[in-house]
Every structure is written in C-alpha cells, then in structure tokens.
Structure 1
Amino acid sequence: MIIEYTGAQKLKGSLLFFEPIENVQYGEKVVIRSEGKTVNGKVAALSESVMLIEILGEPYGLNLDNIKVRFTGNAFELGVSEAMLGRVLNAFGEPTDAGGEIHCEKKLPIGGSAYNPAHREYPKDFIQTGISAIDGLNVLVKGQKLPVFSVSGAATNELAAQLVRQIRPSNEKGAVVFAAIGIKYEDARYLMQSISGGGNFDSTTVFLNLADEPSINALLLVRSALTFAEYLAFERGYDVITVLYDMTNYCDALREVSSRREEIPSRKGYPGYMYSDLASIYERAGILQGKAGSLTQIPILTMPDGDITHPIPDLTGYITEGQIVLERELQQKGIYPPINVLPSLSRLMNHGATAQHRRWSAEIYAAYAKAKKAQMLAAIIGEGEMGKAERDYLAFGKAFESRFVAQGNDEERTLDQTLAIGWELLKLLPIESLTRLKPEDISEYLQS
C-alpha cells in the first residue's frame, strides 16, 4: 500500500518546507506529486517544527496546495554498472546520450562509505598525465587528491579535456570519471567534443550538469560520480581517476542552497560547514588494503578574482595534497598550459619519483626561481646592464617557458621526453651552478 502525505508549508525555489513526519530519516528519498507532475527529492533537514525536502529536479508546476509526498524509507541511491563506461549521464545516473538504457548491476547510496584511515595504503605509484609541468615537477601519485587552481580567462576547458583524454593509471584496468559541474552549454559542447574524440572514451564516464539546472543537482552530481568511481575502484578493481570541474560552481550551489535554507552564512556568504562538506568529497579517494583498485582525484576550481586566499581554494588546499596553479600572465604570453610551477606543489611527489628525478626537479625549480628574479631585474635596469650569470638565467627562463611548460593541447609527452627536455635546458647554465645534482648526473646527462 502506497501512503502519501500532505502538509506542505512553503516552497522556496527547490526547497520544500513540510510538516514533520514520524520515522523519517535524514537523506531519505521521497517522491513528490502535484497535479500530474512527479519529481524526486530527499530529506535535507529534520527538526521538531519542520522537515526540509530538497527537490531533485525542476520545481516549476508544483502547486503548494496540492502537494503529496511519499517517503520511500531508503537513502538516495545510484544504480551502477560497468556498462556506464563510455556513456554520458546526468546527476541521477540516467543516460543523456543516444546509447539507450543501462542495466544496473546494483544500487549504492550516494553518500559513500567512511573508510578507516588505518586501512588505507600510502600513495606511492607515479601516474603519467602527459603534461610536463605536472609529470616533471609536480608528480601525481595514485590515490592522491591534487587540485588545479585556475583563474578567469585561463585555458581551463582545454586543460580539463586534455587531462581526461590523456591521463591513465599504470594498471591496465583503468578508467576516468569526469564530473562536469554547473558548466555553460558552449563549454559543455567543447568538452564533450574534445573528450569523445580522444580515443579513450570507452573507458571514460561523463557526469554532466549544466548551469541552468537546479543548484541541488550540482551537489548531487558530484556524489553520484564519486559513488560510481568507488564502485569501479573498490568492487571492480579499476584504477580510477576522477576529474571534478568546476568545484567553484559546486561551492556556489552549496551557498545558494544554504541561503534558501535560511542558514547563518560564514566567510563570503558560504555556509560554515563548507569545510566539512568539501572534506566529505575530497576524502573519497585513496587506496584501500585488500582492494585491487584505487581512486585518484583531480578537482579543478576557478579562483574568484584570482584570489588564492578565497575560501574555496583556501579550504581545498587544507584538505588536499598540493595544488597546480594556472597563471593569467603565462596565458597572455600564449603559453599553454599556463602552469606557474613556482607556487605549484605536489606533497606526495617524493613518494612517486625516483631519487634522480627529485634532484633534477630541485635543480629546475631553483634555476627557474633565479630566472624570475633576473626578469624583474631586467625590467628595472635593462638586459644590457646585467651580468653574464643573470643573462644566462634570463635565457633559461625564456627557454623553460617556451620549450618545457608550453606544449600542444593534444601533445602527450612521456616522462622520458619531459626529463630529456629538462636536461637540455640545464645545459644553458654553467656546470658549477648546478649544486643540487650529483656528479654522476652531470657526467651522464650534461657532459655527454
């Protein structure tokens, strides 16, 4: 017997304020019906005076006086299957491409499971992205969460698409889950064309949420994508890379929903619980003992006003293990990808790179830092007034940006190719200035 309840008090955007009902659980899936229109929802808050239901879909057409709600008794679940690889899905896991229906193998709650940190393996295996500024100087490690901090006007769409096309873990059984959050239609069209034409789309799943969808869908989509990624990683043994783009849109959706709930705002109007909410997303990554697969995350976010101290990048930096920083100045020079390696960091690089790779990286970093100082000096006194040492570093900096950082948006470099470019660049500097390399490194690569 199906039991439906009346008692709607207020409808505010995608939020329905309802009279409390006994034995209803937080996060429970509900079915809302009004004058022939049926949408799903979930219980978002419970108190003695009111129950808050988030409408998962378009609220238009719902008549407050004629709303009936059915409580399913179950948490919101996502149907999962390996057949979802190579498909484009919405926030509910429903296909939006022309591939037909998907037969689900099982259903999983989108909230995920809490994993005991003591049961996690320490990330240590190198993952090749094909992008020199990452593979050479900010190594991504299997099981890591390494965000990309972008700025308005940077080629973020191109970089996101290139990562999805190129990145593959070392395990032959690998997959990529791409969650596009609050994306504009023209950006979504570019991303889909670029990703689907990459040749690896059969092992890629896209969860797509457009900017004109309700804010709650953006919150739901991220968790749906991670639920599917966890299924592939920890139940099917895949090494999964999850790319989340753009997490700024997610946080803005979280702020909008919080405002509609009439919650007290915190920094910049974002809810005070945004840190724990982001942690509930970013911590769904890692390698579990006794499991064959792994889950690696690359969240991509656009820093509002280019401010790295803004709450979104600030909190993201606390939770994750480093950051890849894009710079508008490099973009204006025509350099793609516009990655500024100096503020970029991978905290787990030492565990995914060889000892020689680490020495090579340290020497490259030090040389480029001196090159940036030489650039500032040249802007003040002119290049002609500089000494030979400063001119050498100035030449190194220009070559480093044009030959190492810059590469085509369809150019996939191996790690050996990346290291070879770096060794060639170090030949531009006097041998005696290379203090971070060992004598055997110099004799093998710089004096041959």
Structure 2
Amino acid sequence: NDEIEDFRFWSRTKTDVGVQAMRSILREVQGMAFKEEDEGEEAFRIDIPKVVKQADRKFLSKNYGATIQNGQATFSRSMVLNETTNLGVPLMKIDDSTGQVTIGLGGGKIQLPTDVSQEQINQGLADIEAYISLVDRAFCYHPEAVKMTMFETILFTMAAPFANQWLQEKRRKAGQANKRGPRHLVIFGDGHNGKTTFGRFQNHLLCGTPIEPVNGKTYAKKQWDNLFNHITTAGTPYPVIIDDIKKTCFTSARGSLETNIKTYFENDWRPEFTYPMIIFNTNHDRIDEWAKTRVRRLDFLVKFRESEKEQMVINDILQRPNHVFSPFAKLYVEELLKDPEFRNDELHIARAVMSHIYDIADRELPEYFPHNPPEEIYDTDALYCVDRERYGIFKESKIRGGLRLEFNAWGSLHNFRSRLPPSVSSIVDDKILIIENPKEYRTFMKKGR
C-alpha cells in the first residue's frame, strides 16, 4: 500500500533537530579522536545541546563510555577509536584530495601507508588471487563463475567507502529520474562454505586486521534499528559487514529489513551525510520484489573442503599485510576529482582503478577479472538451478506434456522457482513443481551447464 509506505518514509525522517545535533556531536567526537597524538589528549569534552534525546544520551554513555554532566560529555579517545564501541564497525576517514585513509581500530588510530612499493602491491594482489584460487580445490561446478564473483565482491568491498560520492554524482546527473541509492550487497551461499572467513578477509583488505564481521544471527528488530540508527549518524564510510542474517531479512514477513533498507538512501540520505554500504551474507537466498532493486545478490556456489592445507593458506594470507587498498583509495580519489561520467554500473570506477593497480604492479589480470558485472557474463540464476539439480535437491521425471520436479522441502522449491525466468511456465502442488513448457526450461538450464 503506497499510502502506508509514504507514511513510513515520512515518520522515519532523520532531519529532526535531535538527530541533527547527535550527528554533529559524533562528527566532533570523531574529529577530536582522530587528532594527531601530539595534539589530542586521551580524555576530551564536548557540549551536549538540550535537544539531544535521552535515548541518545544513554547511547553515548553506554557505547562511548561518555560521562555527561552539566551539559557536557567527557569521552575517552581510546574508547571512541575501538570498533566494538561502534557496534563492530571501525571509524574511517578518507581525505578527499589525497585519498589518505585513517581508521580507528582497537582503541588507536592507524593511517594506511601512502608510499607503497610495487613489490608490496604485487604481494597483495598475489594474496587476493591465492584466496580466490582456493575455489579450484573446492567442490564447485562453476569455478570460473565463482572466482569472478569473488573478485567482484572484493571490488565492491574496496569501492564501498566511496559510495556516497557515487550517489552524489547520480543525484546531480540523474536524480530526477531515479532517486535510489547504490545497492547493498547480499552474499548467498550454503552453510559452512566460508562466508564468515571471507568476511574477515574483506575487513583485512580494508584495515589490515581480519576483525570479525557483525553477527547478524543474533539480531532482532531492536538490534537492527539500533544498528541502522547508529551507522546513519556515525559518519563513517567503512562498510558494515554482517554475517549470517536470518531468512526473513529480505522478505515482507515479520522481521524484515524492508523499512530500514527502503528509507536508507531514498528518504534519509543527504549529500552532506556519509552513510556506509552494507554487505550481508546469508544461507537463505529468498529476496522479495521490494529488495531486488535495493540489494544485489552474488552467489558463492562453492563448498570448501576445509583441509589443513587450505586453512594454512588462509592463515598465511590473513597474517600478511595487504597494501592494495591504500593505492586503490588514492587512485579512486584521483578519478573522482576528474568528474567521472555517471554509469549504472556502480563499480565502473573500481574496475578501472584495479586494472590500473595491476599495471603498476606489472602483473597480468587474471582471466576471471570482472571487466563487467558477472551477471552480464553468466546467467547466475541458471547456474544456481543447475547447482541444485547436480546436488540432488530435486528429482526430475517426465510426465505427459511436461516435467515433474519433486523437492524434499517447500522452501527449496520456492527458492528454485524464484530463479526461473518468466518464459518458463510452472505450477506448484505442495513439494511438486510442474514445468509446463519443458523446451523453454531446457534452454534456460543449458545456460548454467
């Protein structure tokens, strides 16, 4: 119902004076915390306006350890710069003229090195490729597609801190036609296929430390609302990497993130704000219509063996510094300063920047490098359906004028059917899916073989 949705958008606006004051406070807190060591002290004070709500005062006390008295809050610098203070999301600042990256981590401030050697870049790229190449040792029916998907996810991760600049360009050049923001990312893969470890790797690439992703498995509505309220006021562009979200998150059922995601960029965001991108991973691949234009799903159709050798390879990669993001950020900022053309491909600058980094390292691009989105190269839905077929998720038999697909669970049937193109006509009867036009179905499945 459009009227109900309009009311939701209106009622969740982030422009009231209390929220504006809170955003200003957090901006000032971060500015003080990110000061040079010889300029800043461990404890500092900030004025708290009367318009700041009691709930926000409690948040400052609980999360930042602030002591509030007589209209002033006293903060601990080391607490502000600890990612656990920020619900597991590190504070990040990127200089918009040089690309210098500063991150609050473990109670201290780290600056990524700006003077990175060709050898260091080469080693970082080699580690990225070594991680992706573990697919060749795994159970995987479509290794080249999965490797390209993994590299696409790495590009998304590194480009995520610059998503607000992409949206500024879009609003400036196409805002009257389409106000939607950049799509968040959903990584789908079956259980125990390495998504959590990959989340650590994503953090490692950005900040040099394989910190744990946010644990979405324990999140209910209150925790989600707290997270969204925090990340939309904190002002950090560091992407929120969330592990193991529940199956209802991108449905219209109770426990859905529909309102949070719909209003995120379309209603609440302003050019002067910084909202981080969100990277979810999940074992559940159901995405309802409302979410399909607001999140992007990439399938990790792979099952790693978790052998001793595989674990040692990952351990070595996560223990070595990876210096790729620092030159990536520098080159990305240089591209932004050239006033790049707007494209619907949200990663078009990231593709060009990463290709340039390979040139700097004098290293050949891997064959699976995503020059275009993987969805434009592979029929990812067909890959998924063929994967389900090969794993024996359903039994197929011929019937008069059609095909009978028998599933063990209704959920598996629903997920499979949601991937079929409109040209494939089907009927559902409990756990049975009847394909009415087998020729169209065979044509579709052939794309995934």
Classify the TM-score, shorter chain. Answer: 0.3 to 0.5
Taking structure 1 as the reference length, what is the TM-score of the superposition? 0.34
The structure carrying a bigger strand percent of its residues is: 1
Which is higher, the Rg of structure 1 or of structure 2?
Answer: 1
The structure carrying a bigger helix percent of its residues is: 2
Taking structure 2 as the reference length, what is the TM-score of the superposition? 0.34
